[in-house]
Structure 1
Amino acid sequence: MRLPSRRVAIPLTGFLVVSVVVLGSTMISGIRTHLKSKILPYLKAPLSSVSTITPIVSLTEPAIISANMSALSTFFANNKKAFLDDLSSNRGEGWTIVMGNTAGDLDSCASALAHSYLSTILDHKRTVALIQTPRSGLALRPENLLAFDYARLNKNNSDLLTIDDLTAAIKLEELRSSYTLVDGNVLPPNFPNDPSADRVNAIFDHHVDEHAHPKADPRIIHPAGSCASIVANYFQPRLPPSPALGDAITDVYLLLLSAIMIDTNGLKDNGKTTPHDASAAEYLYSHTRFGALTVAGGEPSKDHMTLYDLATLLVDAKRDVAHLSGRELLERDYKSFVWKNSKGEDIRVGLSTVPMGLKHWIERDGKDKFWADQYAWIKVSNIDILGVLTTFRTRTKNKHKREMLIVFPQGEGVADAPTGLELKLYTGIEGNPNLGAEPKDIPGIEGRRARAWEQTEKQANRKQISPAIQAIIEAS
């Protein structure tokens, strides 16, 4: 057999090499495109928290990375951008929005943020946390800002997705996302959801079970001082045993720990603290820079802080509301409900928790301004009944006190004696031994459709008061 000459063999070899290179380049390009469309939009940030996960960044689009941003802040910023970018084409389909309740307290925010991060890195799901507070309202909760700072989030909060970020990008009724609920177990009515094809895929909560979304899985609802404890305990078996201090996941632990501390008063509140809170706090604390020991000699880290000190700083920040207006006091910790009476009519109720006593509030603002703020908030919130739940410490003896004020919209002139729902609500509240409501006179209440009480049951907060009011309304 005659062998081919070199002049034939060399060009043929070159052709084969070029073909392999071109084919390989085409395959790599295809893989990049697939990764970009399926995975990378929601995993652009450095994931240094779990040793088995390699840091991933976008191959074609620059991620939001700054020398001044922590790994966790970078993750949230990139996740937010990827979600908002996806809304224009896919309306959020394929994403899960994790949201707390509309009060926007630290427990809701920390639970949503932590769940979205852990679900993304452990379950590889496209998950984004939604803060149900307008961006302008974030400053009304200094305790939240302090916890965000401990977790090394962006000081201007640009890394967080707020409700007005979402509504500016899409009409809520056009969303195709799924939902995970934390610190609440009913999807807010402004989010679209067909009960026959329920899009609530998971629930983690410590409030009274309202028996909505029965197909959610997991559906974990049980008593605990903080929902953050429930979230932490759910993920704990799969968390890395020894994360390095400074990893994003240790900042997630600080978010959860801060929520537990403020909700249980440093695990000291026997009326709220449960074994779920104690076990979660013990695990989280030991893996944060506040509680971890250094390698050498088991000495505390340079950032060491006791749980008591952490709780004290957070609670003090929460009570620092003297600079807020009456409107801001009502807005900062507000939840609205829609319940039906026995006739099937909707009754809209709003409950504001305020860390200031009624006497101090009225002395500060004057009774005319105080009552004007109540009625203005009723109008802007479009509710039928406003409940103001105060929780504070006396300025002389530092004793913990709770009060409740119920206000109905005021008509012209002096109000008649209460009848109908108003009378049933007052009677039901005073007859409920779990609330310990003793009538209280406050300036300017005469002649108004309103009533105030001091609560002898100091543990009866909104979690106990809201179902009590709901039961009265539904029976009326």
Structure 2
Amino acid sequence: MKSTLLSWSLMAPATLSFAAVASEFTNPTYRHGAHSPSQYVVEDAAAHGILPLEVGVGHFSEWSRDTKKRFFIDWQDSKENEWVFVMGNEGGDLDSMASALTWAYHLEHSTMNSSKPLKAIALLQTSMDALDLRPENKVALSNSKMTSGHEDLLTMDELPEDPETLSRKLKGIILVDHATPLRKWEHAKILSIFDHHVDKGAAPSAKPRVFEKVASCTTLVARQMLDELEDLPSEYHMPHELLELILSAIAIDSSGLDSAVPADSKTAARVLARSRWADRSLSSAMSSLARELKDAKKDLDGLSVRDLLRRDWKGDLVDTPSPRTPTVSLGFASIPYSLDAQIRKTGFGELFHWFSIHAAWTAATGVDIDICLNKYKTRDEETGKKKKIREIVLTVRDDVRIDERQADSLFRLVYEALEADEGLKLKRWARAGELGPRQMVWTHESGAGRKVIRPIVEEAVRQWDM
């Protein structure tokens, strides 16, 4: 038997989310039915001087909160091997979140009356306080009647055990909107994969294993869910809040179906027919959702530089042939502001302060190489029309796995790999002369984002031997 979660929560009272959940099932009074879980969440919030939570309403929120509670109970009783984690990528976007929640819900409900019922929970691979850095997530979850503060969602910072340890104990993991697991989950058995990007060959025996070019991964998950649901002897209850979350994810990724492929449109139509909006036309419902969510997505002016750095950040370890340093940690941030605009957001409004904030963030993440991919629009002086500009900010640290000589070598390697790519057509940033050691900024108009830049950097690092 593990030590009680309550004792852990008392050691870290600032972690309200975990303490609140722990209080629900460690309190003997609640176990005898005298109080509801929501009462304890609200009371704990008040005790810490925090505004009371608005507890979610409806079957979907109740299921999500109950699932989270059951997982913590089973972890405490050393029953992790009974659980399946459904996880998206660490960027924490609406597509990953909706895909994970949808498939976890389906797994549990489609097997509950079978001889082999499954325990499944969606894991959002970001911290709880980072979810609202994507305002569209907050809007979509609010529309789906979820608990404020995301108390009924399981996030990375709430895991009671390190992923590398926990991955060995789980029944398995399912990847959604993600082709391969992060290194920290490599010891877990991959049961299924749903992704709308490139198949990288992971878990060839996984079932279902779906790779298809669609606007939204949620399309693939929802289609599989509906196909299996309609084949059941008796359909389980499908809450309208979940259906509307699915439609939200497809809508924002397909620009209201304007950039959809047939699979997106057909699946959205099937979901819409089961939702509260069944009397609306598909185009009307999806365009309305897309407008609401895209308006929210653009509302980032209040975010700090650190928030922008971690809002859409993805990273992992890359193997190298170096016996001294067999792995290097890479991080990639996507930011919809120019570097100049970000500098203006710093307290001093100076270049040095941006790099100071950046250094503190990368030190916290433990990366060796960090790439910031900025994008913004500017007006062309000749034509007067707006054009899209992108920036690449490269930094290499020497205080985690590598020393100064190795950092210099890695910087040169990645620097040369990026400059050598003819498709990027990089130009040195106007203020490049002010940069410090192992710092470089380029601008380009190629349209290449993370999906193009990341493979270039990773391939260079795989050749590094020092």
TM range (shorter): 0.7 to 0.9
Aligned to 2:251: 261
Letter in 2 for 1:378: T
Letter in 2 for 1:165: E
What does 1:342-361 align with in structure 2 at a 5 Å threshold? 342-343=321-322, 345-361=326-342
Aligned to 2:419: 430
In the TM superposition, residue 332 of structure 1 has moved relative to its aligned partner by 1.4
Aligned to 2:184: 190
In the TM superposition, residue 468 of structure 1 has moved relative to its aligned partner by 2.4
Counterpart-to-counterpart distance in 2, 1:183 and 1:368: 36
Does the residue aligned with 2:110 lie in a helix, a strand or coil?
A: helix
Determine which of 115, 125, 128 is the counterpart of 1:132: 125
Residue 215 of structure 2 contacts residue 264 of structure 2 at CA under 8 Å; is this kept in 1?
yes
Determine which of 378, 390, 393 is the counterpart of 1:402: 390
Alignment size in residue pairs: 394
Determine which of 218, 224, 233 is the counterpart of 2:214: 224
Counterpart-to-counterpart distance in 2, 1:312 and 1:110: 18
Could you list the per-position Cα deviations for residues 100-131 of structure 1 after superposition, in whole angstroms to 9, with x for gaps in the alignment? 11221111111100110112212332111111
Letter in 2 for 1:340: D
Relative to 1, partners in 2 of residues 1:223 and 1:59: Cα closer, same or farther, differing over 3 Å?
farther
Letter in 1 for 2:152: D
Counterpart-to-counterpart distance in 1, 2:142 and 2:299: 17
Determine which of 154, 159, 170 is the counterpart of 1:161: 154
% identical equivalent positions: 30
1:469 maps to 2:453: no
Aligned to 1:102: 90
Letter in 1 for 2:353: K
Residue 374 of structure 1 contacts residue 407 of structure 1 at CA under 8 Å; is this kept in 2?
no
Aligned to 2:5: none
Residue 375 of structure 1 contacts residue 410 of structure 1 at CA under 8 Å; is this kept in 2?
no
Residue 182 of structure 1 contacts residue 204 of structure 1 at CA under 8 Å; is this kept in 2?
yes
1:389 maps to 2:373: yes
Counterpart-to-counterpart distance in 1, 2:198 and 2:60: 32
Counterpart-to-counterpart distance in 1, 2:424 and 2:197: 16
Relative to 1, partners in 2 of residues 1:175 and 1:256: Cα closer, same or farther, differing over 3 Å?
same
1:337 maps to 2:326: no
1:282 maps to 2:269: yes
Residue 136 of structure 2 contacts residue 293 of structure 2 at CA under 8 Å; is this kept in 1?
yes
Aligned to 1:312: 291
Relative to 1, partners in 2 of residues 1:173 and 1:449: Cα closer, same or farther, differing over 3 Å?
same
Counterpart-to-counterpart distance in 2, 1:168 and 1:107: 26
Counterpart-to-counterpart distance in 2, 1:90 and 1:284: 38
Letter in 1 for 2:66: N
Aligned to 1:202: 192
Counterpart-to-counterpart distance in 1, 2:298 and 2:195: 25
Relative to 1, partners in 2 of residues 1:444 and 1:114: Cα closer, same or farther, differing over 3 Å?
farther
In the TM superposition, residue 202 of structure 1 has moved relative to its aligned partner by 0.8
Relative to 1, partners in 2 of residues 1:380 and 1:97: Cα closer, same or farther, differing over 3 Å?
same
Relative to 1, partners in 2 of residues 1:474 and 1:147: Cα closer, same or farther, differing over 3 Å?
same
Aligned to 1:23: none
In the TM superposition, residue 274 of structure 1 has moved relative to its aligned partner by 3.6
Does the residue aligned with 1:190 lie in a helix, a strand or coil?
A: helix
Does the residue aligned with 2:91 lie in a helix, a strand or coil?
A: coil
Residue 334 of structure 1 contacts residue 350 of structure 1 at CA under 8 Å; is this kept in 2?
yes
Letter in 1 for 2:269: E
Residue 395 of structure 2 contacts residue 411 of structure 2 at CA under 8 Å; is this kept in 1?
no
In the TM superposition, residue 304 of structure 1 has moved relative to its aligned partner by 10
Letter in 2 for 1:334: W
Determine which of 410, 413, 424 is the counterpart of 1:421: 410
Letter in 2 for 1:227: C
Could you list the per-position Cα deviations for residues 30-54 of structure 1 after superposition, in whole angstroms to 9, with x for gaps in the alignment? xxxxxxxxxxxxxxxxxxxxxxxxx
Letter in 2 for 1:455: H
Moved more, 320-329 or 391-400: 391-400
Counterpart-to-counterpart distance in 1, 2:36 and 2:210: 35
Could you list the per-position Cα deviations for residues 286-311 of structure 1 after superposition, in whole angstroms to 9, with x for gaps in the alignment? 44334x20xxxxxx49x996422322
Provide the TM-score with structure 2 as the length reference: 0.75
Counterpart-to-counterpart distance in 2, 1:475 and 1:225: 33
In the TM superposition, residue 145 of structure 1 has moved relative to its aligned partner by 0.9
In the TM superposition, residue 248 of structure 1 has moved relative to its aligned partner by 4.5
Residue 99 of structure 2 contacts residue 177 of structure 2 at CA under 8 Å; is this kept in 1?
yes
Aligned to 2:242: 252
How large is the RMSD of aligned CA atoms in angstroms?
3.4
Counterpart-to-counterpart distance in 2, 1:287 and 1:274: 21
Residue 334 of structure 2 contacts residue 372 of structure 2 at CA under 8 Å; is this kept in 1?
yes
Counterpart-to-counterpart distance in 1, 2:183 and 2:419: 30
For structure 2, the 5+ residue unaligned runs are: 1-30, 40-54, 113-117, 232-236
Residue 255 of structure 2 contacts residue 290 of structure 2 at CA under 8 Å; is this kept in 1?
yes
For structure 1, the 5+ residue unaligned runs are: 1-57, 242-246, 294-299
What does 1:19-38 align with in structure 2 at a 5 Å threshold? none
Counterpart-to-counterpart distance in 1, 2:314 and 2:177: 12
Could you list the per-position Cα deviations for residues 373-394 of structure 1 after superposition, in whole angstroms to 9, with x for gaps in the alignment? 1222221111111011123444
1:178 maps to 2:172: yes
In the TM superposition, residue 204 of structure 1 has moved relative to its aligned partner by 1.0
Letter in 2 for 1:454: T
1:142 maps to 2:135: yes
In the TM superposition, residue 266 of structure 1 has moved relative to its aligned partner by 2.7
Does the residue aligned with 2:82 lie in a helix, a strand or coil?
A: coil
Moved more, 117-126 or 327-336: 117-126
Relative to 1, partners in 2 of residues 1:427 and 1:286: Cα closer, same or farther, differing over 3 Å?
farther
In the TM superposition, residue 201 of structure 1 has moved relative to its aligned partner by 0.8
Provide the TM-score with structure 1 as the length reference: 0.73
